[in-house]
Amino acid sequence: MPEPINLKVGDEIELTIESLAFGGKGVARTDDLVVFVKNALPQQTALCRITKKHRGYVEAVLLETVKASPSSVEAKCQHFPTCGGCTFQDFDYEGQIEQKKSQVVDIYRRIGHIPDVELVEVVSAENIFHYRNKMEFTFSNRRWVLPEEEEGADRSFALGLHVPGRYDKILDMEECWIQKPVGNDILRIVKETARERGLKPYDVVKHKGFLRNLVIRVGERTEEVMVNLVTSREEPDLLSPVVARLTKEVPQISSIVNNITRRKAGVSYGEWEVPLHGPPYIREKLGGYTFEISANSFFQTNSVQAEKLYGAALEFADFSGDEILYDLYCGTGSTSLFMSSHVGQVYGFELIPPAVEDAVRNGVCNGVTNCRFFESNLDKYFRVTPILKEIEKPDAVLLDPPRAGMHPKLVNDVARMKPRKIVYISCNPSTQARDVAVLTESGYGLERLAMVDMFPHTPHIETVALLLAS
């Protein structure tokens, strides 16, 4: 599509937003050109400035609302919209769901090459605030200064979330509306104590300083709380005042750990871990099972919706009771155990060693005897190990990969296993649709597709797909 010669970077133009694209940007059109507008809502008319030109489309930022969207609402959070954690707090929840539904269908038509796709089920969130059981905050000596602040404001300390598009700037936060209320108490106490004691945030440019991350986990059903303090070196004496105040003022805290990482990359998990208070895990209940979750293990961040997500996957699978199930990307074993009473045997595969250890322990704690877990790099595991000769071939495969989706070779590996059923859980419908397209070329057909909203006020989408061998 040719670019109009009269539209260039820096131009200001009035646009009416038609819909939201996957990822959250508003979609408008002018001169047969698609314009993606940041922080815009459907049916909003706005003055926008062109920021980037591409072949076939341009990008723009919203300068001023001319006519508000009928779906706009007042955001609850004082940090909105500077904080990029909640993109749509100003968009009513029903509108969010409708846009996400449309995005999934569009993605499957364009990327999955399935023109007649339909969502058989849409599960909205039970709680649209305070739903996250895990939040990860960052310390910084490069605080983001707000426009309304006076010149010369102190920038030397912040504890909060990254400003969108900036790896080095942190918005100092007072509260977060999507984490549990106890998390806001912890955020405040850690920030106050660190500042009082002169504990230095880590500088991501100079690679100096002590405090790197604050990670908070909460058991939705158990109300147990873990505080994970990520630091650049092991100095427990420096953290003792923080630990003392947390345990005194928040008795709900059952675990405090210190993860230490010397890596320059901005990662929130450590090379090693030091327990500071209580056990190095918290417990959560899901589907009648109790899970022990360590600091660095993956666990679904919305426990209420996770139970509904796994329930949808179980319904899609329609097990007869004697199947051999492979659970790929099994994490701490939550999906494996959830499915275990409905199949004959589960084999779980996971890359992260602490997660595998958690999975094994969770199986033992719950008295589950038909689950085995393997530490495995799934990008190559089934081609470089003799595992397929040592265990039964799968009747069904359960997939729950990270946002990037499956490695192309793993997609082919799964197809070669020839399971009768594939149940694919995804936090990124684009990569899921891409993988499904390859599987359909390998003899599978998409039978059912559902969406479970795990993350209200964000552009993230969780989907479940059922594929059957033809």
pTM for the structure as a whole: 0.89
- Using alpha carbons, list the distances in angstroms from residue 202 to 139, 184, 227, 444: 7, 22, 18, 49
Q: Could you tell me which of 370, 281, 265 has the C-alpha nearest to residue 332?
A: 281
Tell me the DSSP string of 27-79.
EEEETTEEEEEET--TT-EEEEEEEEEETTEEEEEEEEEEE--TTB-----TT
pLDDT at 1: 42
Of 77, 330, 371, 427, the catalytic one is 427
Residue 86 catalytic? Answer: no
Q: Which of the following CATH numbers is that of domain 134-286: 3.40.50.720, 2.40.50.1070, 3.20.20.60, 3.90.380.10?
A: 2.40.50.1070
Q: Is 43 left (phi over 0), alpha (psi -120 to 50) or beta?
A: left
- Of 342, 358, 337, the closest CA to residue 294 belongs to 358
Domain with CATH 2.40.50.1070 in the chain: 134-286
Q: What is the pLDDT of residue 354?
A: 84
CATH 2.40.50.140 for the 12-67 domain, yes or no: yes
pLDDT in tens, the chain (470 residues): 444 447 789 999 999 999 999 999 999 998 778 999 999 999 999 999 999 999 889 999 999 999 999 999 999 999 998 887 898 999 999 999 999 999 999 999 999 999 999 999 999 999 999 999 999 999 999 898 887 787 778 889 999 998 887 777 899 999 999 999 999 999 999 999 999 999 999 998 899 999 999 999 999 999 999 999 999 999 999 999 999 999 999 999 999 999 999 988 777 778 899 999 999 999 999 988 999 888 988 888 999 999 999 999 999 999 999 999 999 999 889 999 999 999 999 999 999 888 899 899 999 999 999 999 999 999 999 999 999 999 999 999 999 999 999 999 999 999 999 999 999 999 999 999 999 999 999 999 999 999 999 999 999 999 999 999 98
Do 48 and 26 meet the contact criterion of CB atoms below 8 Å apart? Answer: no
Helix, coil or strand: residue 168:
coil
Provide the pLDDT for residue 287: 87
Q: Which CATH architecture has domain 102-127+302-469?
A: 3-Layer(aba) Sandwich (3.40)
Contact 315, 306 (CB under 8 A): no
Q: Which of 16, 163, 7, 193 is nearest to 85 (CA)?
A: 163
Query: What is the location of CATH 3.40.50.150 in the chain?
Result: 102-127+302-469
pLDDT of 2 reads 46
